[in-house]
Structure 1
Amino acid sequence: MIRFVFRFLGLWILAAAFIFLVYDGTRSIAADRLEIFSFEAIWTAIHQPSLDEVRRLVERHFPPWATDPAMRQVLVAPAWLVLGVVGMVLVLLGRKKKPLIGYARR
Structure 2
Amino acid sequence: MIRFLLRFLGLWLLAGGFVALVLDGVRSIASSRLLYTPLGDAWAAASATSLGQALGDADLPAGGWSHLAAPLLQAPLAAVLIVLGLLLLLAGRRRA
**How many angstroms apart in 1 are the aligned matches of 2:46 and 2:11?**
20
**Offset at residue 56 of structure 1 (A):** 2.2
Structure 1 residue runs of 5 or longer lacking an equivalent are 99-106
- Residue by residue over 1:49-88, the C-alpha shift from the partner in whole angstroms, topping out at 9 and shown as x without a partner, is 1111111232x2x423334321111100100011111111
Letter in 1 for 2:17: A
Q: Which residue of 2 aligns with 1:76?
A: 74
Q: Which residue of 1 aligns with 2:90?
A: 92
Aligned-pair RMSD on alpha carbons? 1.2
**How many angstroms apart in 2 are the aligned matches of 1:70 and 1:54?**
14
Identity of counterpart residues, as a percentage? 41
**How many angstroms apart in 1 are the aligned matches of 2:65 and 2:91?**
25
Structure 2 residue runs of 5 or longer lacking an equivalent are none
Q: Which residue of 1 aligns with 2:48?
A: 48
**How many angstroms apart in 1 are the aligned matches of 2:10 and 2:19?**
14
Letter in 2 for 1:69: H
Taking structure 2 as the reference length, the TM-score comes to: 0.92
How many residue pairs were aligned?
96
Larger radius of gyration: 1
Q: Which residue of 2 aligns with 1:101?
A: none
**How many angstroms apart in 1 are the aligned matches of 2:28 and 2:42?**
17
